[in-house]
Structure 1
């Protein structure tokens, strides 16, 4: 389906209007002064609105684009500004070239009768004609199956090292410390029976919690239950 063409007072789209303003005010198309071009563009749209002319959304979209470019130009040097400005310049140059070619073709065909033939059905042979070596087919198959596997969720086995470890609670290690500190102990001795990192961390947190609650006293390298014997065996 062909895209509808919008016109605004003879201009076929916003690029056509921008080229007109650049030519009228003798601006450099290779180094467009965005602020000056924006003022002229908005002034033209306001004049069209004052005359009750319908303004197509394409013209308003270009206005928003120019406003954004002007905003970037007010900031410190920004790579996005240069990129967007280059894209706009490229579109204008391309549109300018197409307009010149269209005008040339129109001049060549002026006064000639144009005959257009109706569409005809063309039969196309859809049989795959290319030939490939077995190694190429094997590589293509491996690549295709690999991409399919990458889209699948990870297998359950991948999570086993995480979910299979028992959870060691701080409360359970507090009970362990209460029993272990029935007599004074060196702090390093309290961690020797820890079977894994989880128990080490839980034991350390439990010791801190008991010191905070004043259930355990720590003196130098020795820990003892409050009210217990303070001699190290």
Structure 2
């Protein structure tokens, strides 16, 4: 029997389950049948004693200690429904409609609470029947630690970026800039070296041939080339050497002037 008086097939198909048989004022039979007859107005509710119904229900519960909660709840709803029908017959009709819940709403609320209680008991039973750590299942010998992955996300406004850049620039202005002293191949050194290497030879010699030793020294390569070129031009201006170049941007060639070579040769012979 459901909470609205309809016959429930869950109990009719189970003969081994106890049924509540009531004997009230000439009626003797199942409680669900009495409720069905009362709803169809086939029995006189004024002759039914609610006190006797409650006493028989309590006696039935006391004798059935192992009764399932669902069956007891159904019988409780049936008894409450009969009591409600009896009270509506005995009490005078209220001319003003009552704002409180109706009998159907009360019965539905009661049935909902009973179903929720049964659901909680079922959930508790399911939790108890699960595998337990240390009894049915066991942890790993070397448990894995969770890997923590951090992703940094920087957020800043345009004003904050400009402010940070200005602060960084101010810190850099406080530093002193010191440039390393550069090694310079002087013009005088290039002049003396060029005269020593040319000697009294009358053959043309490339200017780059006098700079071979500076090719492996990056710090003196540029200054040696510039100083040697300036020294060669100065010696040519003085008439001590001759400079020749076939075409623009071609290699430069140097040799001692003939008069200078003869003078140096005669001076050396007299000595």
Larger Cα-atom Rg = 2
Q: Same fold (TM over 0.5)?
A: no
Q: Please, what TM-score do these two structures have when normalized by structure 2? A: 0.28
